[in-house]
Amino acid sequence: MTVRRLTTEQREALELLASDPQGATEQLLAVAHGLESGMIAWLVRSGLATATRGSMKAGGKTVEVVRIRITTAGRRAIEGERI
């Protein structure tokens, strides 16, 4: 991968993930925070975040979700290290 700095949007997405140790569901990131699926996919492909399938209860039903969490590399990236 080419060494470069994060864009403002990439940094903000990582900071959002860093603010919650549990991460966030893909749907929450898209709907509530306006992150595009391409940005979420880029974070995961770049190793700055991970995506894990799981399930959770919502409205009395069990639903499948994808939870996105920041990685150690993602934390280093928002601290200013080049990626």
In the chain, where the domains are located: 8-78
Q: Quick one: three-class SS letters along the chain? A: CCCCCCCHHHHHHHHHHHCCCCCEEHHHHHHCCCCCHHHHHHHHHCCCEEEEEEEEEECCEEEEEEEEEECHHHHHHHCCCCC
The pTM of the full predicted model, rounded to 2 decimals, is: 0.83
55-83 pLDDT per residue, tens? 989 899 999 999 999 999 999 999 887 66
The whole-number pLDDT of residue 82 equals 64
The whole-number pLDDT of residue 78 equals 92
- Domain 8-78: give its CATH code: 1.10.10.10
21-50 pLDDT per residue, tens? 899 999 899 999 999 999 999 999 999 999
